[in-house]
Chains A and B, each alone.
Chain A
Amino acid sequence: MIDRRKFLKKAIWFIPAAGLFRHFVKEGHAKPATEGYDPANHLYGMGIDIDKCIGCGRCVEACKTENNVPKEPFFTRTWVERYTIKKDNSVEVENIESRNGKVGDRSTESDVLRSFFVPKLCNQCEHPPCVQVCPVGATFSTEDGVVLVDSKRCIGCRYCIQACPYGARYLHPETRTADKCTFCYHRIVKGLLPACVEVCPTQARIFGDLKSMASRLVRFKRTKRIHVLKAHLNTEPKVYYGNLDGEVR
């Protein structure tokens, strides 16, 4: 016989206990990404060689195709900015993707001091503000250093989009969940390169494993002057820019 007091007491315990149980069931179902792959042995990052980017926009196209990103210019996992700094020190920035990749050469215009392209993507921060703010833990950092979104868990509150200082996230109009660059996680765990890196004709994007001293990325970090975006926010990005201009934000 259970009396009212006992019932209420049990009910108080039941709610958090059910939540915890559910959590463990979910965790229990998690499977390793690929057989024989141990995330503990890797830490991924990307280098961007500013001097090599020609602004062709193929990386953007490849990413959209590979990852089912909507074709419209206002949803993207990666994009390429062009900076044009004039002789009067004014700065013009434009998004290459929004112009369908067709941009004229500006470096020959007489009032231009310098011009260059800057590919952008999720910085896979070591201290990601997006992960901190997610109310349900749908966005998380993997052991091998990539920030992912579980689209089956995401409730679509968009707090992570607000918290990202780099504008790297968007709400996918089909799934109604947050979406962002994953370094093509489904490819890299199989030893393949991210789609954007694979198609880059000038090797301006350098993908690699920071834990392997032999990786191209580690060599890139050794030989270039490296900057990260918005370093003052202490997010510790793992996308490293070689010869980055001070105007880039």
Chain B
Amino acid sequence: MNRELIERLAEHLNEVTGFIYPNEVEIHWSILVVVYPYITGLVAGAFILASLVQVFNVKEVQPTYRLALLTALAFLIIAPLPLLLHLGHPFRSYEIFLTPQLKSAMAMFGFVYLWYLMAVLLLELWFEYRKDLVVWSNEAIFPMNWIYRTLSFFSTDISERAVAFDHKAIKIITLIGIPSAFLLHGYVGFIFGSVKANPWWSSVLMPLVFLMSAIVSGIALVVFLYMVITPLRGEGVDMRCLDRITSFLFYAVIVDFTLEGLDFIHRLYQSEESIKILSRLVTDKLFISLWVIQIFLGMLVPLGIMIAVKSLRFNAELRRLFYFASVILIQLGIFATRWNVVIGGQLFSKSFRGLTTYKMEVVGIEGLIAALGLLIAPFIILAVFLKIFPASETAEAKEAVSS
């Protein structure tokens, strides 16, 4: 028997206020399940930003296009890991693919994930990089030339016709990709939103709230990376690009804020059986993470900053500073959003008569260090990607922007 678990649960038992069902002492979905929707949100958001360039022809955003796609891929590779580590039997996880129970929302995970990875992201990246891969395979020295050659699947055609086809393919993939990105993260929201036993989760707005917050966090992440990486490469940050992206970010935060506000008002107005315990939850257990971090620091402050930047004439340096501060605060806020949904939804009893506490492990598989590792890993993967597939603007793209 797991002594450490028993001791931890005995400690939890002392923290319970009011009455909870005996089986509710253990918090079942831990920090890893917070990390999972956070990471998939970043994937979906980064992809939506990339599609702005392709589908909506927002040329100013072009400098972040490849970065956004590679970011999405780096995070998508890590996305299933927190779920896998969290399972009681990780080695049985393949059962989800082999014998899925089709009525289960969770059973769809594998298919949604694979579809997004194989049919959208990898395909779009391949067409985007194909021409470069061919060029690099001729220029680079061993063994990189062979790596490029293999990754281009030994294609050699960089005629105008072939490149035009690449562009057309990318357009079509993005068109499929946008609903797919919506599916990827809206679906994560559905996993929570469809649990009718849990009034904190059960809401039709949940997939939409997840989606909008995903877009917010994904855009903020790409802005952050763009602002960090560009100076490291010895290049200047393109302020037109930055102004445009943060403008999109601003509107995305407003829509996200509105949706969450609507959800909140709706709950308050309907005032169902659960309202008393939920108000105790948000004023007691979630006070810091919800009101202070998610809403004040993660939404109101960045919104205030962006309104100030929009209405006052700051110089480029000051704008960069403000943008940088905003995207970091937004990241913090969205992580708190995930925390408040996943952990918050387990801190009250389904008897609506009591609250419990979540004490995070530090070293265990479901602990803080594992979670941090999973959050850092995508950045390392991204660094490798950027090394192998430089994301700096191609000459072609520069021409397109200037024209």
Q: Which residues does A use to contact B, with CB under 8 Å? A: 15, 18-19, 22-23, 26, 70, 72-76, 79, 81, 91-95, 97-98, 120, 129, 132-137, 153-159, 161-171, 173-177, 233, 249
CB contacts under 8 Å to A, within B123-177, are none
Chain A residue, CB-CB nearest to B21:
A167
In the bound assembly, the distance between CA atoms of A6 and B12 in angstroms comes to: 58
In the complex, are the beta carbons of A170 and B26 less than 8 A apart?
A: yes
In the complex, are the beta carbons of B23 and A155 less than 8 A apart?
A: no
In the complex, are the beta carbons of A136 and B107 less than 8 A apart?
A: yes
Which residues of chain A are near B13, meaning CB under 8 Å?
Answer: 73-74, 98
3 tightest CB-CB pairs across the interface, nearest first?
Answer: A156-B88, A167-B21, A176-B88
Among A73, A98, A135: residue with most chain B CB under 10 A? A135
Extra 5 A-B pairs, beta carbons < 8 Å, given A73-B13, A155-B96, A165-B196: A19-B97, A155-B90, A170-B23, A170-B26, A249-B353
Q: How far is the CB of A20 from chain B (nearest CB, A)?
A: 8
Cβ-defined partner of B29 (8 Å) among A15, A92, A162, A233? A162
Among B93, B98, B191: residue with most chain A CB under 10 A? B98
The digit string for B1-32, where 1 denotes a CB below 8 A from any CB of A, is 11001100110110000111111111011000
Chain B residue, CB-CB nearest to A249:
B351
In the complex, are the beta carbons of B88 and A177 less than 8 A apart?
A: yes
CB contacts under 8 Å to A, within B335-393, are 345-346, 349-353
Among A137, A155, A161, A169: residue with most chain B CB under 10 A? A155
In the complex, are the beta carbons of A156 and B99 less than 8 A apart?
A: no
In the complex, are the beta carbons of A167 and B349 less than 8 A apart?
A: yes
Can you report 23 A-B residue pairs in the complex whose CB atoms are below 8 A from each other?
A: A23-B98, A72-B6, A75-B23, A79-B21, A93-B18, A95-B21, A120-B21, A129-B195, A129-B196, A135-B95, A135-B104, A136-B96, A153-B92, A155-B90, A156-B87, A164-B197, A167-B21, A167-B23, A171-B88, A173-B2, A173-B6, A176-B89, A233-B197
Q: How far is the CB of B314 from chain A (nearest CB, A)?
A: 47
Which residues of chain A are near B22, meaning CB under 8 Å?
Answer: 73-76, 79, 95, 97-98, 167
Cβ-defined partner of A135 (8 Å) among B18, B90, B100, B350? B100
In the bound assembly, the distance between CA atoms of A88 and B284 in angstroms comes to: 25
Chain B residue, CB-CB nearest to A21:
B98
Which residues of chain B are near A157, meaning CB under 8 Å?
Answer: 83, 86-88, 106
Cβ-defined partner of B104 (8 Å) among A95, A156, A159, A166? A159
Which residues of chain A are near B103, meaning CB under 8 Å?
Answer: 132
Known A74-B25, A159-B106; contact A173-B197, beta-carbon cutoff 8 A: no
**Is B246's CB within 8 Å of the partner chain A?**
no
Q: How far is the CB of B298 from chain A (nearest CB, A)?
A: 25
Which residues of chain B are near A18, meaning CB under 8 Å?
Answer: 98
Which residues of chain A are near B350, meaning CB under 8 Å?
Answer: 165-167, 249
Known A155-B95, A165-B350; contact A93-B19, beta-carbon cutoff 8 A: yes
In the bound assembly, the distance between CA atoms of A97 and B21 in angstroms comes to: 11
Known A163-B195, A167-B349; contact A74-B9, beta-carbon cutoff 8 A: yes
Which residues of chain A are near B104, meaning CB under 8 Å?
Answer: 132-135, 137, 159
In the bound assembly, the distance between CA atoms of A71 and B100 in angstroms comes to: 34
Q: How far is the CB of A164 from chain B (nearest CB, A)?
A: 6
The digit string for B99-133, where 1 denotes a CB below 8 A from any CB of A, is 11101111101000000000000000000000000
Known A155-B95, A157-B106, A159-B106; contact A249-B352, beta-carbon cutoff 8 A: yes
Known A162-B29, A174-B1, A249-B351; contact A156-B97, beta-carbon cutoff 8 A: no
Q: How far is the CB of B2 from chain A (nearest CB, A)?
A: 5
Which residues of chain B are near A134, meaning CB under 8 Å?
Answer: 101, 104
CB contacts under 8 Å to A, within B275-327, are none
Chain A residue, CB-CB nearest to B98:
A19
Which residues of chain A are near B353, meaning CB under 8 Å?
Answer: 91, 93, 249
Chain B residue, CB-CB nearest to A156:
B88
Chain A residue, CB-CB nearest to B354:
A93
Which residues of chain A are near B97, meaning CB under 8 Å?
Answer: 15, 19
In the complex, are the beta carbons of B29 and A135 less than 8 A apart?
A: no
In the complex, are the beta carbons of B23 and A169 less than 8 A apart?
A: yes
Which residues of chain A are near B105, meaning CB under 8 Å?
Answer: 133
Which residues of chain B are near A70, meaning CB under 8 Å?
Answer: 1
In the complex, are the beta carbons of B349 and A95 less than 8 A apart?
A: no
Known A162-B28, A163-B195; contact A177-B101, beta-carbon cutoff 8 A: no
Cβ-defined partner of A155 (8 Å) among B25, B28, B87, B351? B87
Which residues of chain B are near A94, meaning CB under 8 Å?
Answer: 19
In the bound assembly, the distance between CA atoms of A163 and B2 in angstroms comes to: 25
Chain A residue, CB-CB nearest to B351:
A249
Which residues of chain B are near A167, meaning CB under 8 Å?
Answer: 20-24, 349-351
Among A26, A92, A159, A176: residue with most chain B CB under 10 A? A159
Which residues of chain B are near A98, meaning CB under 8 Å?
Answer: 13, 22
Cβ-defined partner of B88 (8 Å) among A15, A154, A233, A249? A154
Chain A residue, CB-CB nearest to B91:
A155
Q: How far is the CB of A19 from chain B (nearest CB, A)?
A: 4
Q: How far is the CB of A64 from chain B (nearest CB, A)?
A: 12
In the bound assembly, the distance between CA atoms of A86 and B349 in angstroms comes to: 21
Which residues of chain B are near A170, meaning CB under 8 Å?
Answer: 23, 26
Which residues of chain B are near A72, meaning CB under 8 Å?
Answer: 6, 9-10
In the bound assembly, the distance between CA atoms of A105 and B184 in angstroms comes to: 55
Which residues of chain B are near A93, meaning CB under 8 Å?
Answer: 18-19, 351, 353
Which residues of chain B are near A73, meaning CB under 8 Å?
Answer: 13, 22, 25
Which residues of chain B are near A129, meaning CB under 8 Å?
Answer: 195-197
In the bound assembly, the distance between CA atoms of A168 and B21 in angstroms comes to: 8
Which residues of chain B are near A162, meaning CB under 8 Å?
Answer: 28-29, 195, 197-198, 345-346
Q: How far is the CB of B303 from chain A (nearest CB, A)?
A: 33
Among B6, B92, B107: residue with most chain A CB under 10 A? B92
Which residues of chain B are near A171, meaning CB under 8 Å?
Answer: 26, 28, 88
In the bound assembly, the distance between CA atoms of A18 and B349 in angstroms comes to: 42
Which residues of chain A are near B197, meaning CB under 8 Å?
Answer: 129, 162-165, 233
